[in-house]
Structure 1
Amino acid sequence: MAHSVQRIPDREIVIDGKPNLYFGGTAYLGLQNHTPFKELYLNNVTKYGMHYGASRKSNVALDIYEAAESYLANWVGSASCLTMSSGYLAAQLVVHHLLEKGHPVIAAPHAHTALLINGVKTASDMDELVQFTSEEIARNQQIPVILFDTIDFSGQQFPNFEGLRQLPLNKVILVGDDSHGIGIVGDNGNGCYSMLKALQPAKLLVCCSLGKALGIQAGAVFGDHEDIKLLEGTSFYGGASPASPAFMATLLEAKDLFSERLETLKNNYRLFKSQLKNPSFFDHIDGHPTFEFQNDEVASDLNKDGFVFTNFNYPDENGPRVSRLVLSAYHKKEDIQKLVASVNTLTD
């Protein structure tokens, strides 16, 4: 059931006049309604305006984009970076480009829909992914591309990437969507790029939304200088409006806020896990603040106890019903304790 609300969800959400604790969405660092973060953004709106109405390939270049992209590349450990107005567009840019170059493109199970455009071959399971990859390598044509989500909620990727390790990585291009990793996993939240680079694929590109953990309405692509330069030369990149410059400036100025909120999130995560009596009830990726389950009765009882959380058919109405508890930095200690007490009672 969809709930219509009148304001951005925070730790508390009012439905039918009744307050509920909210454990859904993807605002992992709880920045979307965090006053210090909003103040940074509003100051930058005053300086940069609401939108930059020009192509990034224009003969006039706003320097905040280069500064933000240099910061992001240094942070995640890539040689270079470009930004787009959304994570969805960033993913589409990469996949369109590789298909146009003639590469066979194969999607791993659970890859995000942003990666799945016409021309992409989708594997139903890891065995089929290995088979498809071996067949493309044997054809001795263009090097195959493997699309995947770094955090795919199946446990096959982050933190050890067992699924990818089944592939001849030195013979493939990896394209990872790190939208659920950037800002919360890795070294001070810098995501999965360095972990994937350590696997030594033939090439690596990582795209992501900056709008989940980081609260920045934009997308990014990370890779080598040459690959990013090629992407910047495409009509796809040149024809798309850029991200808001106010958000780019806020990204640069919110470094301390990101670190502070990440520490709060980690404390909430440790508290929830330490008090959870039946952790096997959940599908959970160690180190990630999401706890997924499939039990309509427990979901209904949690709602009755005053909790609203992710609970809908994904990625479309034909997909499975996903119930997912999402911990955020905006939750207070007592929120976590109340949730875990209810979960322990219902799953005992």
Structure 2
Amino acid sequence: MPKDPFDWIEAQHERLRAAGLLRTLRPRPADAGPTDLAGNDYLGLTRHPEVTEAAAAAARRWGAGATGSRLVTGSTELHARLERELAAFCGFEAALVFSSGYAANLAAVTALSGPSAATLLVCDESNHASLIDGCRLARAERAIVPHADPEAVAKAVAAHEGRALTITDSVFSVDGDAAPLRALAEACRAGGAALLVDDAHGLGVLGDGGRGALHAAGLAGDADVVATVTLSKSLGSQGGAVLGPARVIDHLVSTARSFIFDTGLAPAAVGAALASLEVLRREPERAARVRAVAGELHRRVTEAGLTAVRPDAAVVSVRAPSPEAAVRWAADCREAGLAVGCFRPPSVPDGISRLRLTARADLTDERIAQAADTIVRTAPAA
């Protein structure tokens, strides 16, 4: 018999299982189900009637799929409208919509660097995996700098003779802390570097009416700043976008492989994102509400003796004593009617397992209190 080329998988799975790191899929129900502090529906728009109807209307008019890449048949009038409205809302000159935030990050990093451009990529050590993968694919020189450290960025940029691109999340997805964007911009400008910010967790939560972390920092629309966003969190849809100067967006259209060779975002998702933007413009208080909910969750769990990072946006990170304890804790919460995120290595490079709570603007005060009580009541011993 020929050798089984996948005979190593079982042993690998057993090692992951023994370490409490084996991942499994758990389909969620179509109905409301448990109280959801695990998903990223920050503004509660995924099931908003205007949003779901806009998705259905777009599918009826434009079809279930985009039918091709954006450069062939995958661009519709809806895509162009979303790009205009998203750029205007966030304060940028132009935008380009992708099939996911992951694809948008790969595009921005690779198209704005690359080995032939001799660009140094200055990357925060806690950046999202999509930014890290973009740096790897770019095959450019890299400098991994300590977390949220503008001085380290300034030193890395100053030591490089060519072009440099500093890359950071606006709000880091594991602990929910915000990057010092103004200080980072100053560090970049001192050395002539550009700044690329993934604002996935800032859009809809930070800034005036949820216009994002760069808008809040006074950097939106600056000639040396590029942002990426996702449509799958605050906007309750799916997809991603790059925002920045028009010449940067034009450059991505011609050079970004995850744009050129990927099928365009489905019309239903585009229609949903447009409707969510309209709701947010009409109800800007949703952004402040989600921040208030995050603060209240943090207050309740820390006053009960748990260790949690003070949230700068919608994410509340609560420490667990071990990967196994985190998994049990999350399972106990689910059994009690509360869905929470469970982050373990390698998703957390510092090796510290956590429950990750994502605040939602549509949670009532009663549901917040119930959720915090469940987390405290089911907490494992330290």
TM-score band w.r.t. shorter chain? 0.7 to 0.9
2:165 to 123, 145, 167: 145
- Choose the corresponding residue for 1:191, options 205, 212, 235: 212
Local SS of the residue matching 1:217: coil
Question: Are residue 283 (structure 1) and residue 314 (structure 2) matched?
Answer: no
Partner of 1:18: none
Letter of the structure 2 residue corresponding to residue 294 of structure 1 = R
- Pair 1:30-2:44 in alignment: yes
- Paired residue for 1:17? none
- Kindly provide the amino acid, as one letter, of the partner of residue 108 in structure 1: D
- Aligned residue number for residue 329 of structure 2: 300
The aligned residue for residue 128 of structure 2 is 112
**Does 1:311 pair with 2:342?**
yes
Q: Report the Cα offset of residue 249 of structure 1.
A: 2.7
Q: Deviations over 1:230-289 (max 9, x none)?
A: 111115122221111232233323334335676356446536645835368320223x22
Give the counterpart letter for 2:344 in structure 1: N
Indicate conservation of the 8 Å contact 1:123/1:129, yes or no. no
Deviates more, 1:302-311 or 1:39-48: 302-311
What one-letter code is carried by the residue in structure 2 that aligns with 1:282? A
1:44 match: 58
Which AA in structure 2 matches 1:331? Answer: L
Q: Is the partner of 1:167 in helix, strand or coil?
A: helix
Give the C-alpha shift of residue 180 in structure 1.
0.9
Q: Distance in 2 between matches of 1:225 and 1:274?
A: 40
User: Do the aligned residues in 1 keep the contact of 2:235 with 2:277 (CA within 8 Å)?
Assistant: no
Q: Within 2, Cα distance between the matches of 1:342 and 1:106?
A: 41
SS in 1 for 2:237: coil
Partner of 1:242: 264
**What does residue 231 of structure 1 align with?**
252
Per-residue deviation, residues 125-154 of structure 1 (Å, max 9, x unmatched):
149874465344334222x11111000155
- Closer/same/farther in 2, CA of residues 323 and 314 from structure 1, 3 Å limit: same
CA–CA distance in 2 between the matches of 1:272 and 1:173? 32
**1:255 equivalent among 277, 290, 293:** 277
Q: Distance in 1 between matches of 2:256 and 2:228?
A: 18
TM score, norm. by length of structure 1: 0.82
How far apart are 1:83 and its partner, in Å? 0.6
Q: Is the 8 A contact 1:268 1:333 kept in 2?
A: no
Gaps of 5+ in 1: 14-20
**Identity level (%):** 19
Distance 1:124 1:79, change over 3 A: closer
Could you tell me which runs of 5 or more consecutive residues in structure 2 were left unpaired when the two chains were aligned.
1-22
SS of 1:174's equivalent?
A: strand
Q: Secondary structure at the match of 2:309?
A: coil
SS for the counterpart of 2:168 is strand
Report the CA distance shift for 1:156/1:316 in structure 2 as closer, same or farther (over 3 A): closer
Distance 1:157 1:261, change over 3 A: same
Structure 1 residue corresponding to 2:119, chosen from 103, 106, 111: 103
CA contact (8 A) 2:124 2:145 kept: yes
Does 58-67 or 332-341 show the bigger shift? 58-67
Q: CA deviation at 1:104?
A: 0.9
Superposition deviation, residue 57 in structure 1: 2.4
Instruction: Tell me how many residue pairs correspond in the alignment.
Output: 336
**2:183 matches 1:157:** no
CA contact (8 A) 1:27 1:328 kept: yes
- The whole-number CA distance in structure 1 between the counterparts of 2:78 and 2:290 is 34
Question: AA paired with 1:312?
Answer: F
Q: Is the 8 A contact 1:272 1:336 kept in 2?
A: no
| CA contact 1:261–1:329 (8 Å) conserved in 2 | no
* Change over 3 Å in CA distance of 1:169–1:56 after alignment to 2: same
Where does 1:63-74 land on structure 2 (aligned, <5 Å)? Answer: 63-74=77-88
* SS of alignment partner, residue 29 of structure 2: coil
- The CA deviation at 1:48 is 1.1
Distance between the aligned counterparts of 2:219 and 2:208, measured in 1?
14
SS in 1 for 2:229: strand
In the TM superposition, 1:54-69 aligns within 5 A as: 54-58=68-72, 62-69=76-83
**Which stretch shows the higher mean deviation, 96-105 or 244-253?**
244-253
Matched, 1:4 2:36: no
Cα offset, 1:9, TM superposition = 7.8
Q: Does 1:167 align with 2:167?
A: no
Asked if 1 retains the 8 angstrom alpha-carbon contact of 2:185 and 2:195, the reply is no
Q: Is the 8 A contact 1:130 1:166 kept in 2?
A: no
Contact 1:83–1:243 (8 Å) recurs in 2 = yes
CA shift at 1:44, angstroms?
1.6
Given residue 250 of structure 1, which amino acid in structure 2 is its aligned partner?
A: A
Q: Give the 3-state SS of the residue equivalent to 1:324 in structure 2.
A: strand
Contact 1:268 1:329 (C-alpha < 8 Å) held by counterparts: yes
